Chain A
Amino acid sequence: MTLRALLLVATALFSLGIYGLLTRRQAVALLLSIEVMVNAANLVFVAFARYGSAPGHPLVLFALAITVAEVAVGLALVLLLYRRHGDTLLELASEAKG
């Protein structure tokens, strides 16, 4: 069924996002990976909205809104990080160490 195919693709997408989340050193790159993951989730919702019965579309809209908010705040944090350390590498934000 195409639903299954779609779900598998979405899972693959999500996994790729995880890989990026765990691998990238730049803060912005992290945000990109998160975007990919959110996208995968939205895809699942839409797929189910088509092939099953779920309140998919409104959920996607709200997920979008939330993501946008998150990106805004995230970029503000990246700016702060840059201002503090002159770069946006994640290791620089290690005050929670030890």
Chain B
Amino acid sequence: MSPSVTLALVTLVAPLAAALLCVLLPPLRHRGTPAAAITVLGSLLATSAAGLLAMEDVAGRAIRATVPWMVVQGRGLGQVGVRLDAVSIPMLAVVCLVALAVQVYSLAYMHGESRRSYGRYFAYHALFLFSMNTLVLAPDLLQAFAGWELVGLVSYLLIGFHFDRPSAARAAVKAFWMTKLADMGFLFALLVLYGRTGAFSWDVALRPEVAEAAAGLIFLAVMGKSAQFPLHVWLPDAMEGPTPVSALLHAATMVAAGVYLVVRADPLFAQAHWVQGGMLWVGTITAVFAALLGLVQTDIKRVLAYSTCSQLGFMVAALGAGSAFAGYFHLGTHAFFKALLFLGAGSVIHAVHSNELKDMGGLGRRMPLTAVTFALGALSLAGIPPLAGFASKDSILTALEGRAGWIPWALLLSTAFLTAFYMGRVLVLTFLGKPSPAAAHAHESPPVMTVPLIALAIPTVLGGLLGPWLARGLGGEMHLHLGLTPVLASLAGLGGLALSLATYLRGREAPLAATLTALDRASAVDRVWAFGYRSVLLPLSAVLRWIDRYLVDGLMNGLGWGTLETGQALRPVQTGRTRDYALAVVVGAVLLLVLGAWR
């Protein structure tokens, strides 16, 4: 086994071992701190291994180490193992790094929890890292599906972490149902692929209809997992989970898994031009729509949630334009600065004990580290050169040049402006101006929380430099050029930011804010889904419940009852009279004799 494969296995085994220990040894979990220590240790090992892997040069080649799974008639149904190439290694590194940062941050952030909850939290984190890595390193779509479902499970567990809160429990169920519905697409895609090719690989040449069907079905799942319109409604509600969870799962990694999947299965998607066209538009619409709604949110986490949704739209649009590189690049940079923003928000929330923007203000002076790192993240997100976010956003816009009559390009450029605008709003309302009563006693967070912020700030700023490396790995090129797009993008970012500062520092509100707020409150899409849930899913469940209780259980109970009744009916046979038994013996003997004589 080559050293690379060993390293890859470490990234899988270390978090898995941590998770298993936490699960199988309740004392570790119940005491809280041991579970946290084990999980962080596992993540540290995984991150180190991922880092070492990242330093290898895998351009153009792939290392595959698998064992067959479910061997039937000499052949395995699928393959289980790892695939190391220029697609999986960067993602692995990003996931492990962000996960480690978030987990360390959580050590302090989750301190208010009871010891049992604390331990449970970290057990889930260990499980998440293992699941995500399973997905990232998957050698075929079957294992990817397994990882996909697992992270969905952990997402449910962590959104509803404070399950005694009704809103959290509802949010978890909502997320689960919506993504599960979308995952049907993935499942059917697997069936199509297996039916056509007898395997689950994305590296196959298919007839156009088949490729479109498979890619389309997978994209359905991507829409769910990566919160694309109209399956985006679960993401804002997912903010019920603890903030570090929002940072890791619902910003950096899990929601990005959809994007990653499309990048991973690029050979398949490249054959499905109609699907790509659809992706282009879905991504664009999502980006615009979410950005508009993010502008009028009052909860800081919800702003970031809609922002995530919007940025995912950017990535999907890039993929739809055929540039897997641009989408992947933005995935990477977004992971870092969005996680940073969420953790920073967590720091602020921790200080003022509230999520609402109105309870913040003037925190720049009181929480300098948080403020600076948050600002860096915001600038990166807004696409201000030369930060990482600018580089990746620019590559997306470049990829969209000329596509579909320049309309997506124009819309996303406008969205870049909006992005800078709403982030400016957040900056002003949170860190500048006069502090609200709640913010009066705020103070900076402990180092355990601020060090991860600083750690994440570094790639947030410098991440753009890794672009060419990533591009080369994917077989392309990336160079900095001075053209229409980068200039316009920079202007959009700077302009949006400036306008935002001008508006909000003077205490004014953005134009059309009232309309947007009304739109947000109407939550039409949400209502449609709720209606579907109530009128389709729940009745269906009720029918199935009836079948299970009365037919299935009824059959079983009936068999039991029948057996007992038969036993009772046969009781009179035992008369207790010796003579009757003797008669039975004689009759039996006679019958046996007859039988014997006949042979």
Contacts and interface: CB of A to CB of B under 8 A. Distances in A.
Contacts of A97: 574-577
Interface in A80-98: 90-91, 93-98
Given A21-B586, A22-B586, A98-B571, A90 B579 contact: yes
Interface string B579-599: 100110010000000000000
Interface in A18-44: 18, 21-23, 30
A90 B583 contact: no
Interface string A54-98: 000000000000000000000000000000000000110111111
B419 to A, nearest CB: 86
A94 B577 CA distance: 5
A22 B579 contact: yes
10 contacts: A21-B582, A22-B579, A23-B579, A90-B577, A90-B578, A91-B577, A93-B576, A94-B576, A94-B577, A97-B576
Nearest to B585: A21
B483 interface: no
B576 A96 contact: yes
A22 B577 CA distance: 11
A96 B571 CA distance: 11
Interface residues of B, number: 11
Interface string B544-581: 00000000000000000000000000011011111100
A41 to B, nearest CB: 13
Contacts of B572: 98
A22 B582 contact: yes
Given A18-B586, A21-B586, A22-B586, A93 B578 contact: yes
A98 to B, nearest CB: 5
A33 to B, nearest CB: 9
Given A21-B586, A90-B579, A97-B577, 5 more contacts: A22-B583, A94-B576, A97-B576, A98-B571, A98-B576
A90 B577 CA distance: 7
A95 B586 contact: no
Contacts of A94: 575-577
A82 to B, nearest CB: 15
A15 B582 CA distance: 13
Nearest to A21: B582
Contacts of B586: 18, 21-22
Q: Which of B571, B579, B583, B586 has the most CB of A within 10 A?
A: B579
A96 B574 contact: yes
A28 to B, nearest CB: 13
Nearest to A27: B578
A95 B576 contact: yes
A74 B527 CA distance: 88
B396 to A, nearest CB: 86
A95 B572 CA distance: 13
Contacts of B578: 30, 90, 93
Contacts of A21: 579, 582, 586
Contacts of A90: 577-579
A23 B575 CA distance: 16
A1 to B, nearest CB: 20
A30 B577 CA distance: 13
3 A-B pairs with the lowest CB-CB distances in the bound complex, closest first: A97-B576, A94-B576, A96-B576
A23 B583 CA distance: 10
A14 to B, nearest CB: 11
Contacts of A22: 579, 582-583, 586
A19 to B, nearest CB: 10
Nearest to B571: A98
A2 to B, nearest CB: 23
Contacts of B583: 22
B364 to A, nearest CB: 91
A3 B572 CA distance: 45
Contacts of A98: 571-572, 574-576
Nearest to B574: A98
B597 to A, nearest CB: 14
B516 to A, nearest CB: 83
